[in-house]
């Protein structure tokens, strides 16, 4: 995978960035980086690999995100991911959930930089594709930049050269994962300072970013931008990204064309006995802010679940054909 000077990515999100959502997003943007949900190393070592790691070739560029804290297990899981054809591997050092903390991975590992460095080194030794990291700026109520600097310096010493930084602290006690995405204040200036202090590293910023204008502002200071919830709630935001950020001036599909393109995918899913809702639940935001958006959302979240019928979807397309 070519790592461009300017990187735009959809964040890995548990229960959201599965293969169905990623295929849907590829109808909207060809070049934006996509990530899997976080997958625990033990699941890959002992689980159903086709179910966990399978993807459609159209999803490239595609990066798998791993969770874990055992260097040997992460190395083995990384090998299996490389064999499946992923473009890179990302280690999660940012998730603040209690379940993740009990498993001794995610954000709590920011208190163990040597262990993280050992994990990254083992993963790098096991594969030829890039190994990157996604982290927070700090833990709990730490407020000094020096701690962030020291952590990044330690990991960078392994040769890891791409850091995705969620510009909030992770509060490990007292806040839910949802609250951790909203309550800790954003400190973009910390991420900008990292780029100044580590000019040879690729620094990608994440957290609270919703518009092209905000993306451009950040790209004046760092190497890339990762967008999370806004990609899910308003996916058509990405429809112009290929031209704006990757100089690819292909014809931008309308929302209706995207919805129609998903028909063949839904037919294929239905033929395999997979519930249509497993796909359509990811498409709810396609008509965000437009007339008939309520009809679109209602049908996908209610009627499709009730009927599990392709005809329900095709009838919905008829109603949406003239909605711009």
Residues marked as catalytic: 95
Strands 62-67 and 131-139, bridge-based pairing: unpaired
DSSP character at residue 110: G
Nearest residue to 181 (alpha-carbon basis) of 167, 160, 195: 167
Size of the chain, expressed as the number of residues it contains: 324
- The secondary structure of 239-288 as a DSSP string is GGHHHHHH---PPPPPHHHHHHHHHHHHHHHHHTT--THHHHGGGGGGGT
Nearest residue to 227 (alpha-carbon basis) of 25, 19, 23: 25
Torsions phi, psi of 29, nearest 5?
-140, 135
Q: How many Å apart are CA 68 and CA 90, to the nearest integer?
A: 11
295 Cα distance to chain centroid: 28
Q: How many Å apart are CA 33 and CA 4, to the nearest integer?
A: 11
Q: Give Cβ neighbours of residue 57 (< 8 Å, ≥ 6 apart).
A: none
Strands 202-206 and 162-170, bridge-based pairing: parallel
Tokens of 32: 């934006």
Q: How many Å apart are CA 180 and CA 95, to the nearest integer?
A: 9
Q: Which residues partner with 62 through β-bridges?
A: 34
3-state class of 215 per DSSP?
helix
């Amino acid at each position: 995978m070519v790592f461009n000077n300017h990187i735009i990515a959809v964040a890995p999100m548990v229960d959201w960035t599965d293969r169905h959502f990623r295929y849907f997003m590829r109808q909207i943007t060809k070049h934006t980086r996509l990530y899997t949900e976080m997958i625990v190393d033990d699941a890959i070592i002992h689980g159903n690999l086709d179910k966990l790691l399978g993807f459609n070739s159209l999803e490239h560029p595609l990066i798998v995100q791993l969770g874990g804290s055992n260097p040997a297990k992460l190395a083995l899981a990384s090998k299996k991911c490389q064999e499946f054809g992923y473009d890179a591997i990302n280690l999660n050092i940012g998730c603040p959930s209690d379940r993740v903390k009990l498993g001794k991975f995610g954000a709590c590992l920011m208190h163990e930089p040597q262990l993280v460095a050992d994990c990254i080194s083992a993963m790098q030794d096991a594969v030829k594709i890039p190994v990157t990291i996604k982290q927070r700026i700090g833990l709990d109520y730490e407020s000094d930049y020096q701690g962030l600097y020291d952590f990044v310096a330690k990991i960078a010493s392994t040769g890891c050269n791409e850091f995705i930084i969620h510009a909030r602290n992770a509060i490990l006690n007292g806040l839910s994962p949802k609250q951790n995405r909203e309550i800790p204040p954003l400190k973009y200036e910390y991420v900008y300072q990292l780029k100044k202090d580590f000019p040879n590293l690729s620094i990608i910023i994440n957290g609270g970013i919703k518009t092209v204008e905000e993306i451009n502002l950040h790209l004046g200071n760092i190497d890339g931008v990762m967008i999370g919830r806004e990609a899910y709630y308003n996916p058509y935001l990405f429809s112009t990204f290929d031209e704006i950020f990757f100089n690819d001036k292909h014809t931008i599909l309308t929302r209706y064309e995207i919805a129609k393109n998903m028909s063949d995918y839904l037919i294929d899913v239905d033929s395999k006995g997979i519930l249509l809702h497993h796909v359509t639940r990811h498409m709810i935001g396609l008509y965000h802010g437009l007339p008939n958006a309520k009809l679109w959302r209602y049908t996908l979240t209610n009627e499709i679940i009730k009927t599990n019928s392709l005809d329900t979807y095709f009838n919905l397309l008829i109603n949406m054909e003239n909605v711009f």
